[in-house]
Amino acid sequence: MENPTADFEPPRLVIFDCDGTLVDSQHHIVAAMHSAFGAHGLVLPEAERVRRTVGLPLATAIESLLPVGGPSLAAVVESYKQAAIAQRLVPDHCEPLFPGLVETLDRLETAGFLLGIATGKARRGLDFTLATHNLVGRFVTLQTNDVVAAGKPAPDMVLQAMAETGAVPVSTVVVGDTTYDIEMARNAGVPAIGVAWGYHDEDVLWKAGASHIINGFHELPDLVNKMMGGAICAR
């Protein structure tokens, strides 16, 4: 008897991080963190310390920066959220896309790849970013910290993205700029590609287990093609 699934090929899925990978949001994140700490009379954390937390669940990131004996974690988290909301109300608020992103998404979609996002942002913030850059509808699965049991570096977002799309580990790759992205992918049994333009240095991405590191989005289509097979259309 023939196996009806013998010729089944799972979808090929590319899961992107958002902050530091798709968009350069570091200045807004640092500003919101400084606003939150300032609201409670705390010494402002250095910008580099804040950038190193990008990608973690918000409460985890803030907890790592808070001094012992400071205000409640919940209070500072709420202050950060309010600062972030206020930023989005500013007319010229902008988290610029990194160069070459849209063209790369076009090439991947044309070649039949499914696209997803796994981010430390809340869904409201992610929706705002996608709408700002006319990217709504480009990603078939959106995973945020407020829809999973555990954020990065736990595997939950990758596992859920694969479940939603029918992809499997060998047909999935994660693209991100931090060790949390790389560790999330590895914990889900998925290869990870680091990006050289983000918030963690290349050496720590390699040490975390990145299989490759790209210097620009233009390198990504051919790379995932080699990793997973299939034709990439030149544009």
Predicted confidence band of residue 232 (pLDDT cuts 50, 70, 90):
very low
Q: Is the pLDDT reported for residue 234 higher than 50?
A: no
Query: Over 80: is that where the pLDDT of 168 sits?
Result: yes
Asked about 17 being catalytic, the answer comes back as: yes
- pLDDT at position 231 over 50: no
Q: Give me the catalytic one of 7, 19, 127, 156.
A: 19
Mean pLDDT rounded to a whole number for the chain:
90
Across the beta sheet with 13-16, what order do the strands follow?
141-144, 114-119, 13-16, 172-176, 192-195, 212-214
Q: How far apart are CA 175 and CA 155, in angstroms?
A: 14
User: What b/e readout covers 91-127, taking b as 16+ CB neighbours within 10 angstroms?
Assistant: eeeebebbeebeebbebbeeeebbbbbbbbbbeebbe
pLDDT digits (tens, 9 = 90+) for 90-137: 887 788 999 999 999 999 999 999 999 999 988 988 999 999 999 999
Catalytic residue, candidates 7, 17, 201, 222 = 17
Q: What is the mean pLDDT of residues 68-80?
A: 90
| % the chain with pLDDT above 90 | 73
pLDDT above 80: residue 230:
no
Q: What is the pLDDT of residues 29-42, one digit of tens each?
A: 999 999 999 999 99
**Mean pLDDT (whole number) for 210-230:** 92
Q: What percent of the chain shows pLDDT beyond 70?
A: 94
Q: Hey, what CATH class is 13-24+95-228 in?
A: alpha beta
Closest CA to 110 of 19, 191, 224, 7: 224
DSSP three-state, residue 214? strand
- pLDDT for 12 equals 95
Spans of all domains in the chain: 13-24+95-228, 26-88
Total-model pTM: 0.87
DSSP strand pairing (212-214 vs 192-195): parallel
Check residue 105 and give its pLDDT: 97
Does pLDDT of 235 surpass 70?
no
203 as an active site residue: the answer is no
Give the model's pLDDT for residue 217. Answer: 96
* Sign of the C-alpha dihedral computed for residues 116, 198, 27 and 84 taken in this order: positive
**Topology, domain 26-88:** DNA polymerase; domain 1 (1.10.150)
Query: Is the predicted pLDDT of residue 6 greater than 70, yes or no?
Result: no
Residue 60 CB-density burial (10 A; 0-12 exposed, 13-18 middle, 19+ buried): middle
CA-based nearest residue to 181, from 57, 17, 12? 17
Q: State CA 79 to chain mean position distance.
A: 23
Looking at the predicted structure, is the pLDDT value of residue 229 above 80?
no
Alpha helices in 120-155 (DSSP H): 123-132
Q: What is the mean pLDDT of residues 187-204?
A: 95
Predicted confidence at residue 212, as pLDDT, reads 97
